[in-house]
Amino acid sequence: MLKILNIVGARPNFMKIAPIVREMRRREAEFRPLIVHTGQHYDEAMSDSFFRDLGIPAPDFYLEVGSHSHAVQTARIMMAFEPVVLAEKPDWVVVVGDVNSTIACALVCAKLGVKVAHVEAGLRSRDRTMPEEINRILTDAISDLLLTSSQDADENLRQEGIAPDKIKFVGNVMIDSLFYNLEQSKSSKARENLDLRDKDYAVLTLHRPSNVDEEKTFTGLLDALVSIAEKLPVIFPVHPRTRANIEKFGFAERVANSNIRLIEPLGYLDFMNLYSSAKMVLTDSGGLQEETTALGIPCLTLRENTERPITIELGTNQLVGTNAEKIKQAAFAILENSSKKDTKIPPLWDGHAAERICDALVS
Protein backbone atom coordinates (compact mmCIF):
# COMPACT_ATOMS: atom_id res chain seq x y z
CA MET A 1 0.00 0.00 0.00
CA LEU A 2 1.28 3.45 -0.96
CA LYS A 3 1.14 6.24 1.63
CA ILE A 4 0.47 9.48 -0.27
CA LEU A 5 0.60 13.05 1.05
CA ASN A 6 -1.72 15.15 -1.12
CA ILE A 7 -0.97 18.87 -0.94
CA VAL A 8 -3.55 21.66 -1.14
CA GLY A 9 -2.88 25.32 -0.52
CA ALA A 10 -5.19 27.56 -2.51
CA ARG A 11 -8.69 27.16 -3.93
CA PRO A 12 -7.64 25.97 -7.43
CA ASN A 13 -5.83 23.06 -5.74
CA PHE A 14 -9.02 21.81 -4.10
CA MET A 15 -10.74 20.99 -7.41
CA LYS A 16 -7.64 19.12 -8.60
CA ILE A 17 -7.00 17.07 -5.46
CA ALA A 18 -10.64 16.09 -4.77
CA PRO A 19 -10.97 13.48 -7.58
CA ILE A 20 -7.51 12.07 -6.81
CA VAL A 21 -8.25 11.55 -3.12
CA ARG A 22 -11.68 10.12 -3.95
CA GLU A 23 -10.10 7.56 -6.31
CA MET A 24 -7.39 6.70 -3.79
CA ARG A 25 -9.99 6.12 -1.08
CA ARG A 26 -11.93 3.89 -3.47
CA ARG A 27 -8.78 1.83 -4.05
CA GLU A 28 -8.12 1.30 -0.35
CA ALA A 29 -5.99 -1.80 -0.88
CA GLU A 30 -3.51 0.25 -2.93
CA PHE A 31 -3.47 3.68 -1.28
CA ARG A 32 -3.45 5.38 2.07
CA PRO A 33 -4.13 9.03 1.14
CA LEU A 34 -3.49 11.87 3.59
CA ILE A 35 -4.29 15.53 2.96
CA VAL A 36 -1.97 18.39 3.90
CA HIS A 37 -3.57 21.84 3.77
CA THR A 38 -0.83 24.46 3.93
CA GLY A 39 -3.25 27.28 4.72
CA GLN A 40 -1.86 29.40 1.87
CA HIS A 41 -5.46 30.33 1.15
CA TYR A 42 -6.29 31.60 4.61
CA ASP A 43 -10.03 32.37 4.23
CA GLU A 44 -11.27 29.60 6.51
CA ALA A 45 -14.94 29.98 5.56
CA MET A 46 -14.21 29.72 1.83
CA SER A 47 -11.84 26.80 2.34
CA ASP A 48 -14.46 24.98 4.40
CA SER A 49 -17.06 25.71 1.71
CA PHE A 50 -14.90 24.25 -1.06
CA PHE A 51 -14.01 21.17 1.00
CA ARG A 52 -17.70 20.60 1.71
CA ASP A 53 -18.83 21.18 -1.88
CA LEU A 54 -16.15 18.87 -3.26
CA GLY A 55 -16.60 16.16 -0.65
CA ILE A 56 -12.95 16.38 0.45
CA PRO A 57 -12.24 14.85 3.89
CA ALA A 58 -10.98 17.20 6.56
CA PRO A 59 -7.21 17.73 6.20
CA ASP A 60 -5.01 15.40 8.19
CA PHE A 61 -2.52 18.24 8.61
CA TYR A 62 -3.21 21.98 8.56
CA LEU A 63 -0.07 24.12 8.45
CA GLU A 64 -1.75 27.54 8.89
CA VAL A 65 0.88 29.55 7.03
CA GLY A 66 -1.44 32.42 6.04
CA SER A 67 -0.76 35.33 3.71
CA HIS A 68 2.74 36.77 3.34
CA SER A 69 5.11 37.84 0.60
CA HIS A 70 6.05 35.11 -1.87
CA ALA A 71 9.40 34.52 -0.15
CA VAL A 72 8.06 34.43 3.40
CA GLN A 73 5.05 32.29 2.50
CA THR A 74 7.17 29.77 0.57
CA ALA A 75 9.70 29.58 3.42
CA ARG A 76 7.00 29.12 6.07
CA ILE A 77 5.39 26.31 4.10
CA MET A 78 8.74 24.55 3.81
CA MET A 79 9.47 24.93 7.52
CA ALA A 80 6.04 23.61 8.52
CA PHE A 81 5.93 20.81 5.94
CA GLU A 82 9.36 19.27 6.55
CA PRO A 83 8.45 17.82 10.00
CA VAL A 84 5.31 16.25 8.50
CA VAL A 85 7.35 14.47 5.82
CA LEU A 86 9.94 13.30 8.35
CA ALA A 87 7.24 11.94 10.65
CA GLU A 88 5.01 10.33 8.02
CA LYS A 89 7.67 8.95 5.64
CA PRO A 90 5.33 8.92 2.59
CA ASP A 91 5.94 6.85 -0.52
CA TRP A 92 4.86 9.80 -2.67
CA VAL A 93 3.91 13.43 -2.27
CA VAL A 94 1.39 14.68 -4.82
CA VAL A 95 1.48 18.40 -5.62
CA VAL A 96 -0.95 20.07 -8.01
CA GLY A 97 -0.99 23.27 -10.04
CA ASP A 98 1.39 26.18 -9.67
CA VAL A 99 0.90 27.98 -6.36
CA ASN A 100 3.58 28.63 -3.73
CA SER A 101 2.54 25.49 -1.85
CA THR A 102 3.34 23.45 -4.96
CA ILE A 103 6.98 24.48 -5.25
CA ALA A 104 7.56 24.71 -1.48
CA CYS A 105 6.44 21.15 -0.78
CA ALA A 106 8.18 19.77 -3.87
CA LEU A 107 11.44 21.40 -2.79
CA VAL A 108 11.22 19.93 0.71
CA CYS A 109 10.77 16.48 -0.82
CA ALA A 110 13.63 16.94 -3.26
CA LYS A 111 15.97 17.74 -0.35
CA LEU A 112 14.74 14.74 1.67
CA GLY A 113 14.78 12.23 -1.19
CA VAL A 114 10.99 11.72 -1.17
CA LYS A 115 9.32 11.10 -4.52
CA VAL A 116 7.13 13.89 -5.94
CA ALA A 117 4.35 13.64 -8.52
CA HIS A 118 3.28 16.91 -10.14
CA VAL A 119 -0.29 16.99 -11.44
CA GLU A 120 -0.79 19.52 -14.25
CA ALA A 121 2.87 19.46 -15.18
CA GLY A 122 4.31 21.05 -18.32
CA LEU A 123 2.00 24.06 -18.70
CA ARG A 124 3.91 27.10 -19.92
CA SER A 125 2.90 30.71 -20.57
CA ARG A 126 6.46 31.75 -21.58
CA ASP A 127 6.00 34.74 -19.24
CA ARG A 128 8.52 34.60 -16.41
CA THR A 129 7.12 37.74 -14.80
CA MET A 130 4.30 35.50 -13.55
CA PRO A 131 5.15 33.88 -10.18
CA GLU A 132 3.10 30.86 -11.27
CA GLU A 133 5.35 30.30 -14.28
CA ILE A 134 8.42 30.15 -12.05
CA ASN A 135 6.64 27.73 -9.72
CA ARG A 136 5.69 25.50 -12.68
CA ILE A 137 9.17 25.37 -14.19
CA LEU A 138 10.95 24.68 -10.90
CA THR A 139 8.44 22.07 -9.70
CA ASP A 140 8.72 20.18 -12.97
CA ALA A 141 12.51 20.25 -12.79
CA ILE A 142 12.58 18.46 -9.41
CA SER A 143 9.58 16.12 -9.70
CA ASP A 144 9.91 12.38 -10.24
CA LEU A 145 6.61 11.90 -12.08
CA LEU A 146 5.12 14.57 -14.36
CA LEU A 147 1.41 14.07 -14.95
CA THR A 148 0.21 16.21 -17.85
CA SER A 149 -3.23 17.42 -18.90
CA SER A 150 -2.47 18.05 -22.60
CA GLN A 151 0.00 16.82 -25.17
CA ASP A 152 1.57 20.24 -25.70
CA ALA A 153 2.64 20.02 -22.04
CA ASP A 154 4.45 16.75 -22.83
CA GLU A 155 6.34 18.50 -25.61
CA ASN A 156 7.26 21.44 -23.33
CA LEU A 157 8.79 19.03 -20.84
CA ARG A 158 10.73 17.10 -23.49
CA GLN A 159 12.16 20.38 -24.82
CA GLU A 160 13.32 21.23 -21.30
CA GLY A 161 15.25 17.97 -21.11
CA ILE A 162 12.91 16.00 -18.87
CA ALA A 163 13.40 12.25 -19.33
CA PRO A 164 10.46 10.85 -21.34
CA ASP A 165 9.92 8.01 -18.85
CA LYS A 166 9.02 10.58 -16.18
CA ILE A 167 6.21 12.09 -18.29
CA LYS A 168 2.71 10.60 -18.29
CA PHE A 169 -0.21 12.11 -20.22
CA VAL A 170 -3.22 11.49 -17.97
CA GLY A 171 -5.73 14.18 -18.96
CA ASN A 172 -7.26 17.04 -17.03
CA VAL A 173 -8.26 16.32 -13.44
CA MET A 174 -10.06 19.69 -13.19
CA ILE A 175 -12.56 18.27 -15.68
CA ASP A 176 -13.05 15.26 -13.40
CA SER A 177 -14.34 17.64 -10.74
CA LEU A 178 -16.43 19.56 -13.25
CA PHE A 179 -18.23 16.52 -14.66
CA TYR A 180 -18.60 14.89 -11.23
CA ASN A 181 -20.27 17.98 -9.71
CA LEU A 182 -22.15 19.48 -12.66
CA GLU A 183 -25.46 17.80 -11.94
CA GLN A 184 -25.26 18.64 -8.25
CA SER A 185 -24.57 22.31 -9.07
CA LYS A 186 -27.96 22.54 -10.73
CA SER A 187 -29.58 22.45 -7.29
CA SER A 188 -27.75 25.64 -6.30
CA LYS A 189 -29.88 28.78 -5.98
CA ALA A 190 -27.09 31.10 -7.13
CA ARG A 191 -28.71 32.09 -10.45
CA GLU A 192 -32.16 32.19 -8.94
CA ASN A 193 -31.00 34.46 -6.12
CA LEU A 194 -29.56 36.86 -8.69
CA ASP A 195 -32.74 36.67 -10.81
CA LEU A 196 -30.81 35.45 -13.86
CA ARG A 197 -32.07 33.46 -16.82
CA ASP A 198 -29.98 31.08 -18.92
CA LYS A 199 -27.64 32.78 -21.40
CA ASP A 200 -28.88 36.29 -20.55
CA TYR A 201 -25.72 37.34 -18.75
CA ALA A 202 -21.93 37.20 -18.75
CA VAL A 203 -19.65 36.18 -15.88
CA LEU A 204 -16.42 38.00 -15.03
CA THR A 205 -13.47 37.06 -12.82
CA LEU A 206 -10.54 39.45 -12.47
CA HIS A 207 -7.80 39.16 -9.88
CA ARG A 208 -4.29 39.07 -11.38
CA PRO A 209 -2.03 41.84 -10.05
CA SER A 210 -0.99 42.75 -13.62
CA ASN A 211 -4.64 43.57 -14.35
CA VAL A 212 -6.01 45.06 -11.15
CA ASP A 213 -2.98 46.65 -9.45
CA GLU A 214 -2.11 48.93 -12.39
CA GLU A 215 -4.59 51.80 -12.68
CA LYS A 216 -4.05 52.32 -16.42
CA THR A 217 -4.60 48.65 -17.26
CA PHE A 218 -7.62 48.38 -14.96
CA THR A 219 -9.11 51.54 -16.50
CA GLY A 220 -8.91 50.05 -20.00
CA LEU A 221 -10.47 46.79 -18.83
CA LEU A 222 -13.26 48.69 -17.10
CA ASP A 223 -13.95 50.70 -20.28
CA ALA A 224 -14.52 47.46 -22.17
CA LEU A 225 -16.57 45.84 -19.42
CA VAL A 226 -18.90 48.82 -19.05
CA SER A 227 -19.56 48.75 -22.80
CA ILE A 228 -20.24 45.00 -22.76
CA ALA A 229 -22.54 45.46 -19.77
CA GLU A 230 -24.70 47.78 -21.86
CA LYS A 231 -25.61 44.69 -23.91
CA LEU A 232 -26.16 42.22 -21.06
CA PRO A 233 -25.52 42.09 -17.30
CA VAL A 234 -21.96 41.23 -16.27
CA ILE A 235 -21.95 39.28 -12.99
CA PHE A 236 -18.71 39.86 -11.14
CA PRO A 237 -17.79 37.83 -8.01
CA VAL A 238 -15.14 40.19 -6.71
CA HIS A 239 -11.77 39.11 -5.36
CA PRO A 240 -10.84 41.12 -2.22
CA ARG A 241 -7.79 42.68 -3.91
CA THR A 242 -9.89 43.73 -6.89
CA ARG A 243 -12.58 45.25 -4.68
CA ALA A 244 -9.96 47.22 -2.76
CA ASN A 245 -8.51 48.62 -5.99
CA ILE A 246 -11.94 49.58 -7.33
CA GLU A 247 -12.19 51.85 -4.28
CA LYS A 248 -8.55 52.96 -4.41
CA PHE A 249 -8.71 54.04 -8.07
CA GLY A 250 -12.08 55.78 -7.70
CA PHE A 251 -13.98 53.31 -9.92
CA ALA A 252 -16.78 52.53 -7.46
CA GLU A 253 -19.27 55.09 -8.75
CA ARG A 254 -18.70 54.16 -12.39
CA VAL A 255 -19.21 50.47 -11.62
CA ALA A 256 -22.33 51.24 -9.57
CA ASN A 257 -23.82 53.21 -12.47
CA SER A 258 -23.15 50.40 -14.96
CA ASN A 259 -24.75 47.01 -15.50
CA ILE A 260 -21.75 45.32 -13.86
CA ARG A 261 -23.12 43.56 -10.79
CA LEU A 262 -20.58 43.07 -8.02
CA ILE A 263 -21.25 40.08 -5.78
CA GLU A 264 -19.31 38.32 -3.04
CA PRO A 265 -17.06 35.36 -3.99
CA LEU A 266 -19.03 32.13 -4.38
CA GLY A 267 -18.43 28.56 -3.30
CA TYR A 268 -17.54 25.94 -5.89
CA LEU A 269 -21.03 24.63 -6.62
CA ASP A 270 -22.65 28.07 -6.58
CA PHE A 271 -20.05 29.45 -8.97
CA MET A 272 -20.45 26.45 -11.28
CA ASN A 273 -24.20 27.03 -11.26
CA LEU A 274 -23.54 30.63 -12.29
CA TYR A 275 -20.98 30.27 -15.08
CA SER A 276 -22.30 27.03 -16.59
CA SER A 277 -25.36 28.85 -17.96
CA ALA A 278 -23.67 32.11 -18.98
CA LYS A 279 -23.64 33.53 -22.49
CA MET A 280 -19.90 34.05 -22.12
CA VAL A 281 -17.17 34.22 -19.51
CA LEU A 282 -14.47 36.88 -19.24
CA THR A 283 -11.55 35.90 -17.02
CA ASP A 284 -7.88 36.19 -16.18
CA SER A 285 -7.79 32.87 -14.33
CA GLY A 286 -6.48 29.55 -15.61
CA GLY A 287 -9.07 26.98 -14.61
CA LEU A 288 -12.02 28.78 -16.16
CA GLN A 289 -10.34 28.59 -19.58
CA GLU A 290 -10.48 24.81 -19.22
CA GLU A 291 -13.94 24.49 -17.69
CA THR A 292 -15.58 26.71 -20.31
CA THR A 293 -13.88 24.69 -23.06
CA ALA A 294 -15.26 21.46 -21.60
CA LEU A 295 -18.77 22.98 -21.46
CA GLY A 296 -18.65 24.75 -24.83
CA ILE A 297 -19.05 28.25 -23.33
CA PRO A 298 -17.31 31.14 -25.13
CA CYS A 299 -14.45 32.46 -22.98
CA LEU A 300 -12.42 35.65 -23.37
CA THR A 301 -9.12 35.52 -21.50
CA LEU A 302 -8.05 38.98 -20.38
CA ARG A 303 -4.32 38.29 -20.53
CA GLU A 304 -1.51 38.64 -23.05
CA ASN A 305 -0.58 34.95 -22.77
CA THR A 306 -1.92 31.64 -21.54
CA GLU A 307 -0.35 28.44 -20.25
CA ARG A 308 -3.36 26.58 -21.65
CA PRO A 309 -3.08 27.02 -25.44
CA ILE A 310 -5.09 23.84 -26.02
CA THR A 311 -8.20 25.77 -24.97
CA ILE A 312 -7.61 28.12 -27.91
CA GLU A 313 -6.53 25.50 -30.44
CA LEU A 314 -9.41 23.11 -29.76
CA GLY A 315 -11.71 24.86 -27.31
CA THR A 316 -13.86 27.95 -26.89
CA ASN A 317 -11.20 30.27 -25.49
CA GLN A 318 -9.94 33.47 -27.13
CA LEU A 319 -6.88 35.35 -25.88
CA VAL A 320 -7.87 39.02 -26.07
CA GLY A 321 -5.32 40.75 -23.83
CA THR A 322 -6.18 43.99 -22.07
CA ASN A 323 -6.91 46.27 -25.04
CA ALA A 324 -10.43 47.64 -24.62
CA GLU A 325 -11.29 47.68 -28.32
CA LYS A 326 -10.11 44.10 -28.88
CA ILE A 327 -12.11 42.88 -25.88
CA LYS A 328 -15.27 44.66 -27.02
CA GLN A 329 -14.90 43.42 -30.59
CA ALA A 330 -14.59 39.81 -29.44
CA ALA A 331 -17.47 40.10 -26.97
CA PHE A 332 -19.83 41.74 -29.44
CA ALA A 333 -19.01 39.05 -32.01
CA ILE A 334 -20.08 36.41 -29.49
CA LEU A 335 -23.31 38.29 -28.76
CA GLU A 336 -24.03 38.52 -32.49
CA ASN A 337 -23.19 34.81 -32.94
CA SER A 338 -20.61 35.77 -35.56
CA SER A 339 -17.57 34.26 -33.82
CA LYS A 340 -18.62 30.63 -33.83
CA LYS A 341 -15.89 28.11 -34.62
CA ASP A 342 -15.67 24.36 -34.63
CA THR A 343 -14.61 23.37 -31.14
CA LYS A 344 -13.66 20.09 -29.54
CA ILE A 345 -13.00 18.87 -26.03
CA PRO A 346 -9.27 18.08 -25.80
CA PRO A 347 -8.15 14.44 -25.57
CA LEU A 348 -8.56 12.73 -22.16
CA TRP A 349 -10.67 15.55 -20.74
CA ASP A 350 -13.20 12.83 -20.01
CA GLY A 351 -13.67 12.75 -16.24
CA HIS A 352 -11.28 9.84 -15.67
CA ALA A 353 -7.91 11.58 -15.18
CA ALA A 354 -7.76 10.66 -11.47
CA GLU A 355 -7.94 6.97 -12.36
CA ARG A 356 -4.98 7.35 -14.72
CA ILE A 357 -3.06 9.36 -12.10
CA CYS A 358 -3.49 6.57 -9.57
CA ASP A 359 -2.49 3.97 -12.15
CA ALA A 360 0.68 5.96 -12.88
CA LEU A 361 1.58 6.16 -9.18
CA VAL A 362 1.14 2.41 -8.76
CA SER A 363 3.15 1.56 -11.85
* CA–CA dist 293, 264 (Å, integer): 25
Please identify which of the residues 37, 118, 207, 239 carries the catalytic annotation.
Answer: 207
Q: How far apart are CA 305 and CA 309, in angstroms?
A: 9
Q: What is the chain's alpha carbon radius of gyration, rounded to the nearest angstrom? A: 20
Examine the residue annotation and report whether 118 is marked as an active-site residue of this protein. Answer: no
Give DSSP secondary structure letters for 153-218. Answer: HHHHHHHTT--GGGEEE---HHHHHHHHHHHHHTT--HHHHTT--TTS-EEEE---HHHHSSHHHH
Measured over all CA atoms, what is the biggest interatomic distance in the chain, rounded to whole angstroms?
60
- Tell me the pairing of strands 115-121 and 92-96: parallel
Distance separating alpha carbons of residues 13 and 52, to the nearest angstrom: 14
The burial of 65, by beta-carbon neighbours within 10 Å (0-12 exposed, 13-18 middle, 19 or more buried), is given as: buried
Strands (E), the chain: 2-8, 31-37, 61-62, 92-96, 115-121, 145-148, 167-169, 202-205, 234-237, 260-263, 280-283, 299-301, 317-319
Sheet holding 167-169, edge to edge: 61-62, 31-37, 2-8, 92-96, 115-121, 145-148, 167-169
3-state secondary structure of 9: coil
- Which residues are 117's β-sheet partners? 94, 145
Residue positions annotated with a catalytic role: 207
